[in-house]
Chains A and B, each alone.
Chain A
Amino acid sequence: NAGVTQTPKFQVLKTGQSMTLQCAQDMNHNSMYWYRQDPGMGLRLIYYSASEGTTDKGEVPNGYNVSRLNKREFSLRLESAAPSQTSVYFCASSVKLRSGNTIYFGEGSWLTVV
């Protein structure tokens, strides 16, 4: 089992460019999440999907869109990248939202917007 796989690992974008971060999990989890992690700010939830077909905003959703393509895949899109979106992005999954179950994280995607 690969767990949670995110691509790309590293990306440099110019301001205004768009891109999509891809995420897939092979653990048959219902819930998936996108977090960003910034120095001094900790992990902050961008969007989550409690189950296939549903998505909801987290703490910092502005400038992002998500798609829960199927049970396995949850993508994060930056339509018009801004330097403030320079960050490390983590995709994660869990069995069930708010159940107390373990959240499994991917290895992260380092995004720099210049």
Chain B
Amino acid sequence: SQKIEQNSEALNIQEGKTATLTCNYTNYSPAYLQWYRQDPGRGPVFLLLIRENEKEKRKERLKVTFDTTLKQSLFHITASQPADSATYLCALIPSNYGGSQGNLIFGKGTKLSVKP
């Protein structure tokens, strides 16, 4: 069956450290993979998109990698701050999906807590 999984429900790290979140997928061939941030009581907000032919994408303190062989994306936040505490969602767009299933397929999210 097709799955997109974020391995950790929760991740606790110390301020200043690098947070690394994992997104794995099976039986999909993603055209794109996206990462979103969601704060409590709010809607998800787009952070980064990476295409299947890209290995890495950076934006300020954020870095995303995409390994189509491992079927995995890693999301890194360097020099983490308490303000980075939120739930992070990965989402993919299948390139070969034949059914009418719309756009993004989301993982369940990883709740990141950065302690001062």
Per-residue CB contact flags for chain B residues 90-116 toward chain A (1 = under 8 Å, else 0) read: 010100000011111111110000000
At the interface, yes or no: A53 with Cβ under 8 Å from chain B?
no
Q: A42-B106, A108-B41 are in contact. Are A100 and B51 (CB under 8 A)?
A: yes
> Could you tell me the distance between the alpha carbons of A104 and B34 in the complex, rounded to whole angstroms?
12
- A60-96 contacts to B, CB under 8 A, are 90, 92, 94
Residues of A near B21 (CB, < 8 A) are none
Per-residue CB contact flags for chain B residues 7-25 toward chain A (1 = under 8 Å, else 0) read: 0000000000000000000
Per-residue CB contact flags for chain B residues 65-109 toward chain A (1 = under 8 Å, else 0) read: 000000000000000000000000101010000001111111111
A42 x B109 contact (CB < 8 A)? yes
The 8 Å CB contact of A100, one of B42, B93, B106, is: B93
At the interface, yes or no: A57 with Cβ under 8 Å from chain B?
yes
Total B residues in contact with A, Cβ cutoff 8 Å: 24
Residues of B near A94 (CB, < 8 A) are 103
Classify chain A: how many residues form its interface, as a range: 20 to 34
Q: A108-B42, A108-B43 are in contact. Are A45 and B101 (CB under 8 A)?
A: yes
Shortest Cβ distance from A42 into B: residue = B108
At the interface, yes or no: A25 with Cβ under 8 Å from chain B?
no
> Could you tell me the distance between the alpha carbons of A105 and B89 in the complex, rounded to whole angstroms?
13
Chain B residues close to A by CB (< 8 Å): 31-32, 34, 41-46, 49, 51, 89, 91, 93, 100-109
Chain A residues close to B by CB (< 8 Å): 4, 31, 33, 35, 40-45, 48, 56-59, 90, 92, 94, 97-98, 100, 102-108
